[in-house]
Amino acid sequence: MTKISLLTVVVAVLASSAPANDTALVLEDHSGKDPSARVTEGPTLRGEGFQVRLGRAGTLQVEIGTDWYVLETNLSFPGDPIGWNRLGEDPTTEGSEWRVDPPVGREDGILQAAKGKHHSIERKAAIAGHRVEVSDTITNLANQDLAILYRQEWAAPTPFQPLLLAGQEIAGIRKTSENPTALLGQSDSGLGWLAEDDILRLQMEAAASANLLRISVSHFALRPGESHTFRYALYPRQKGGDYWSFINQARRDWKVNFTVQGPFDYFDLTRDMDLVRDRERLKAYLERKKLGVVAFSPWVDYDNYNYRTGRPTSREELKALGREARDAFKSVAPEILCIGCIEGNLVSLPPQAQKALWDSSPDRPQNQYPLSEPQMEILRSFDLPWNDCLLVNEDGRCRYELYYRGSGDRRIPMIAIAVYAAPGNGQHRYWMDQARFLIEEVGLDGLYIDQFSLAFNDSQRYSHENWDGRTVDVNPSAGEIARRYTDGALVGIEARRELAEYVLARGKYMLANTFPAVERMQSVPIHRFNESEWSFNLFGWEEGDKPPLAAYPCEGHLSTPISLGVRPGRDGDSRAAENYARLIHKAAIAYLRHGLLYYHYGTSIPEEGPGAGQYGALNHMFPITPLEIREGAVIGQERIVTCVSGEFRLKKRTEPLIRVFDIRGLPVSVDTEIRNQDGEWLIRLSLRDWAEIGVIE
Q: What are 160-183's pLDDT values in tens digits?
A: 999 999 999 999 999 899 999 999
- Is 24 exposed, middle or buried (CB count within 10 Å of its CB: 0-12, 13-18, 19+)? middle
| Residue 95, pLDDT score | 59
DSSP state of 59: -
- Label the pairing between strands 446-450 and 509-513: parallel
Q: pLDDT band at residue 11, thresholds of 50, 70 and 90?
A: very low
d(CA 190, CA 407): 57
Arithmetic mean of pLDDT, 44-66: 95
The pLDDT score that the predictor gives to residue 308 is 94
Domain with CATH 3.20.20 in the chain: 264-346+421-617
Per-residue model confidence as pLDDT tens digits over 670-691: 999 999 998 899 999 999 999 9
Describe the chain by its helix, strand, coil percentages, rounded to 5. 20, 35, 45
> How many Cβ atoms sit within 10 Å of the Cβ of residue 548?
12
- CA-closest candidate to residue 642, choices 576, 605, 588: 588
Residue 141 pLDDT exceeds 70 = yes
Task: Delimit the CATH 2.70.98 region(s) of the chain.
Answer: 9-249
21 closest CA partner among 170, 221, 213, 155: 221
- Does residue 4 have a pLDDT over 60? no
Distance CA 162, CA 159 (A): 9
CATH T-level topology, domain 264-346+421-617: TIM Barrel (3.20.20)
> In the predicted model, is pLDDT for residue 18 greater than 60?
no
Share of the chain above pLDDT 70, in %: 94
pLDDT for position 102? 96
Grouping H, G, I as helix, E, B as strand and the rest as coil, residue 535 is helix
What's the confidence (pLDDT) of residue 593? 98
Q: Name the amino acid, one letter, at 137.
A: T
Average pLDDT over residues 121-131: 97
Confidence of residue 586 (pLDDT cuts 50, 70, 90): very high
Residue 235 — φ and ψ, nearest 5°?
-120, 90
pLDDT at 143 over 70: yes
Asked if pLDDT for residue 31 goes beyond 60, the answer is no
- DSSP-assigned letters across all residues of 341-366: EEESSEEEPPHHHHHHHHHHS-SPPS
Examine the pLDDT at 34 and tell me if it is beyond 90.
Answer: no
- 6 vs 129, which has greater pLDDT? 129
Q: Report the pLDDT value the prediction gives residue 96, as an integer from 0 to 100.
A: 65
pLDDT tens digits along 333-390: 999 999 999 999 999 999 999 999 999 988 899 999 999 999 999 999 999 999 999 9
Check pLDDT > 50 for residue 6. no
**Residue 285 predicted with pLDDT over 90:** yes
Q: How confident is the model at residue 94 (pLDDT cuts 50, 70, 90)?
A: low
Read off the pLDDT of residues 428-458 as tens digits, 9 standing for 90 and up.
Answer: 999 999 999 999 999 999 999 999 999 998 9
Bond preceding residue 162 cis, omega within 30 of 0: yes
* pLDDT tier, 2 (very low <50, low <70, confident <90, very high otherwise): very low
Omega before residue 623 within 30° of 0, cis: yes
379, 380, 381, 383 alpha-carbon torsion, rounded to 10°: 100
**Is the backbone peptide bond immediately before 298 cis, with ω within 30 degrees of 0?**
yes
Tell me 12's DSSP state: G
Provide the 8-state DSSP code for 577.
G
Of 79-93, 159-173, 570-584, which range is least confident? 79-93
Residue 5 has pLDDT above 90, yes or no: no
Determine the pLDDT at residue 239.
80
The whole-angstrom separation of Cα 513 and Cα 565 is 12
* Most confidently modeled range among 79-88, 571-580, 617-626: 617-626
Cα angle 173, 599, 512; round to 5 = 65
pLDDT surpassing 90 at residue 24: no
Q: pLDDT tens digit string along 638-666?
A: 999 999 999 999 999 899 999 999 999 99
CA distance 423 to 493: 8
Residues 6 or more apart whose CB falls under 8 angstroms from that of 666 comprise 613, 614, 616
First CA to last CA distance, the chain = 50
pLDDT band at residue 325 under the 50/70/90 scheme: very high
Ramachandran class of 97: left when φ > 0, alpha when ψ lies in -120 to 50, beta otherwise: left
- DSSP-derived secondary structure for 156-186: -SS--SSEEETTB--SEEE--TTS-EEEEEE
Least Cα distance to 305 among 316, 297, 296 occurs for 297
Count of positions (residues) in the chain: 697
Please name the CATH architecture into which domain 9-249 falls. Answer: Distorted Sandwich (2.70)
Q: What are phi and psi of 494, to 5 degrees?
A: -70, -30
Contact 528, 178 (CB under 8 A): no
Rounded to whole angstroms, the Cα distance separating 221 from 224 reads 10
497: CB partners within 8 A, 6+ apart: 520, 521, 524
Q: What are phi and psi of 354, to 5 degrees?
A: -60, -45
| Sequence-separated (6 or more) residues with CB below 8 Å from residue 142 | 117, 118, 119, 224
Written as one string, the DSSP assignment of 370-427 is EPPHHHHHHHHTS--TTTTSB-B-TTS-BEEEEEEES-GGG-EEEEEEEB---TTSHH
Residue 23 pLDDT class (50, 70, 90 cuts): very low
Amino acid at 494: E
Interatomic CA distance for residues 291 and 329, integer angstroms: 10
For 549, which DSSP code?
P
Residue 3's pLDDT is: 30
- pLDDT reported for residue 433: 98
Mean pLDDT confidence for 111-124: 97
Q: Which long-range contacts (CB under 8 A, 24 or more apart) does 603-606 make?
A: 603/265, 603/289, 603/565, 605/289, 605/580, 605/581, 605/665, 606/580, 606/581
Q: What is the mean pLDDT of residues 56-66?
A: 95
Q: What is the mean pLDDT of the chain?
A: 93
CA proximity to 555, closest of 146, 163, 180: 180
CB 447 within 8 Å of CB 503: yes
Measured between alpha carbons, how far is 292 from 258 in angstroms, rounded to an integer? 16
Confidence label for 33 from pLDDT (cuts 50, 70 and 90)? low
